[in-house]
Amino acid sequence: MPWRSMLFVPGNRPDMAAKAPRSTPHVVVLDLEDAVPPAGKLGARQTMREAAAQLSGLVPVCVRVNPPATPWFADDVASLPEGLAAIVVPKVETAHQQRQVCQALDGRPVVVGLETVRGVADARELLDPPVVACYFGAEDYIADLGGVRTASNDEVSFPRALVAMAARLAGIAALDMVTLDFGDDERFVKEAREARALGYAGKMCIHPAQVQLANHAFRPSAEELAWAHRLLAAFEQSAGVTIAFEGLMVDEVVAARARAIVAATEDP
């Protein structure tokens, strides 16, 4: 399924979950981790189940459980309802831990959170089936690194690219980091375009207003689509021989990129 926009909703706020489909996200994540304080973890499991039932049939629903190393993980897993698109597991760090998580989830689809230094460094080892997607958590990564978060994103350029590469090698979708300032549309769009250029399939959203920005940014533009169709028509006439096209030398590699643009516009 498309992963252009993944909207996170607090698992203890069924009222917010009920409104989530209005912004047409590709996926809604009911969050039991960061959005719920320790004192509210127990009660959030029941409200999460109620919210998942409300959203059933309206939008694909995931649940983000607490990290495997926390005392809440096992009870979170035990409370999960049927019919989820995937279970989001944050802060996965080792291949052994990933296998334990997948075993605990009995083979259900998993989205892995790569948001610690070790998790990012060993990303290629953490994305085996039944992992269907992953995300890069910049804020937790920098906190774990002991670095400084800046608006330039220079400090996360390498791990951000590394996660996209690992996801590509695993044949799964990668979701880009959150933009905490949900009122800064310009920054969100800039980051989304950077992420698409790096090979990310979509972006995590923490506010409904970010959803359409992500849906638009990760879908090829009309200009891109028109260019791809023109290029493919010219390349097919050449029977696969390298040609000059609108100032470019076009071979099979460039044609494959054009085909990918066309294919991406066919997703809902």
pLDDT by residue, tens only, the chain of 268 residues: 789 999 999 999 999 999 999 999 999 999 999 999 999 999 999 999 999 999 999 999 999 999 999 999 999 999 999 999 999 999 999 999 999 999 999 999 999 999 999 999 999 999 999 999 999 999 999 999 999 999 999 999 999 999 999 999 999 999 999 999 999 999 999 999 999 999 999 999 999 999 999 999 998 877 888 888 888 888 888 877 888 888 888 888 888 888 888 887 766 6
Tell me, yes or no, whether 208 and 244 share the same domain. Answer: no
**Residue 219: CB atoms within 10 Å:** 18
Residues 200 and 231 occupy one common structural domain:
no
| One domain for residues 260 and 196 | no
34 and 137 share one domain = yes
Query: Among 163, 232, 226, which Cα is nearest to 199's?
Result: 163
Residues 227 and 146 in one domain: no
Place of tokens 């995937």: 86
Which pLDDT value is given to residue 198?
96
Same-domain check for residues 203 and 230: no
Pair 253, 123 in one domain: no
* The total number of residues written for the chain in this structure: 268
Q: What is the pTM of this model?
A: 0.87
Q: Are residues 203 and 245 in the same domain?
A: no
Q: What per-residue confidence (pLDDT) applies to 266? A: 67
DSSP H helical segments within 84-156, as ranges? 95-104, 117-121, 138-145
Same domain, yes or no: 169 and 250:
no
pLDDT of residue 109: 97
pLDDT of residue 17: 94
Same domain membership, residue 227 and residue 209: no
Q: Which residue has the tokens 């060993």?
A: 122
The range of the structural domain enclosing residue 252 comes to 222-265
249 with 205, same domain? no
Kindly report the CATH number assigned to the domain that includes residue 37: 3.20.20.60
**C-alpha distances out from residue 167 to 122, 180, 215, Å:** 12, 23, 20
Compute the chain's Rg from CA coordinates: 20
pLDDT for position 268: 64
Instruction: For residues 247 and 183, state if they share a domain.
Output: no
Give me the pLDDT at residue 4, please: 95
Torsion angle in degrees (nearest 10) through CA of 150, 155, 158, 160? -30
Cα dihedral 136/138/141/147 (nearest 10): 150
State how many domains the chain has. Answer: 2
